[in-house]
Amino acid sequence: MSVVSVERRLDVLVACEYSGVVRDAFIRKGHNAVSCDLLPTDFFGPHIQGDVLQVLDRRWDLIIGHPPCQYLCRQASRWIDTPVKRILFKQACAFFLKLWNADCECVCLENPVPHLAAKKEIGDYSQIIQPWQFGHDYSKKTCLWLRGLDFLEPTEIVQLTYVTTKNGRRYTRGWYETPRNTKARSRTFPGIADAMADRWG
Ligand SMILES: C[S@@+](CC[C@H](N)C(=O)[O-])C[C@H]1O[C@@H](n2cnc3c(N)ncnc32)[C@H](O)[C@@H]1O
């Protein structure tokens, strides 16, 4: 008896993504992927511009989310120092948990390393990955919270290169050469997106 494997097209929601990088990696693998963000998409493709919470309860096979990290990451802990910022922190945790608790069997949320108070609220991550494990000359600890999904395996280890400035400061080249704006720095690395599509698609 021969075994016929049938590949199934997955319905993938990429939450909080304007770049379309993860969406397009899944589309290249033949899946139905749609990104959703309050912002328009950078590249033409299936995109819902609006609040992702409004589309969470559609039937998705896989949800990959990049919720805002402004109040959750380690660097933020230093300046959550007013009652208003504490409320914003609580709201960021609640948003993260709504994505995490979506009615979907497979969920991956991605964020930088959280500070202790955030970790207490949103729970511990499953895995830490680095762009240099996926073909990029860039160091940035990236945490994945995984439900119903395997760990990502490194696909291409890159030796980091460095830049020394005139005043003697040393930076990793990838970080130094990336424009200093939030949008450029929050875009998902294509090597990581391809690894997600290979592994989970
Ligand atoms: C850290 S960025 C992630 C960017 C992503 N890695 C990419 O490559 O496009 C977080 C994103 O969450 C979006 N966002 C925040 N609240 C949202 C909501 N309620 N619904 C949809 N997107 C939201 C922001 O507009 C922002 O683009």
Q: Tell me the average pLDDT of the chain.
A: 93
**Chain mean position to CA 10:** 19
Please state the pTM of the whole predicted model.
0.94
- Tell me which residues have their CB closer than 6 angstroms to ligand 1: 16-19, 21, 36-39, 51-53, 66, 68-69, 186-188
What residue's CA is closest to ligand 1, atom 8? 187
CA of 172 to the centre of ligand 1 (A): 26
Residue 47, pLDDT score: 98
**One digit per residue, pLDDT tens: the chain, 201 residues?**
444 444 789 999 999 999 999 999 999 999 999 999 999 999 999 999 999 999 999 999 999 999 999 999 988 877 788 899 999 999 999 999 999 999 999 999 999 999 999 999 999 999 999 999 999 999 999 999 999 999 999 999 999 999 999 889 998 888 888 888 888 788 999 999 999 999 999
What residue's CA is closest to ligand 1, atom 20? 51
Best residue for ligand 1 mutational test, from 17, 21, 37 (most atoms within 8 Å of Cβ):
37
CA of 138 to the centre of ligand 1 (A): 21
CA of 81 to the centre of ligand 1 (A): 24
Percentage of the chain exceeding pLDDT 70: 97
Domains assigned to the chain: 11-200 (3.40.50)
Residue 4, pLDDT score: 43
Dist. CA 34–CA 16, nearest whole Å: 11
DSSP 44-70: SSSEEES-GGGTTTS--SEEEE----T
CA of 100 to the centre of ligand 1 (A): 15
Residue 8, pLDDT score: 87
Quick one: which atom of ligand 1 is closest to the CA of 35?
9
Element (H, E) at 84: helix 83-100
What are the respective helix, strand and coil percentages of the chain, to the nearest 5? 35, 20, 45
Q: How do residues 152-187 score in pLDDT, each as one tens digit?
A: 999 999 999 999 998 899 988 888 888 888 887 889
Quick one: which atom of ligand 1 is closest to the CA of 187?
8
- Report the 10 Å Cβ neighbour count for 76: 20
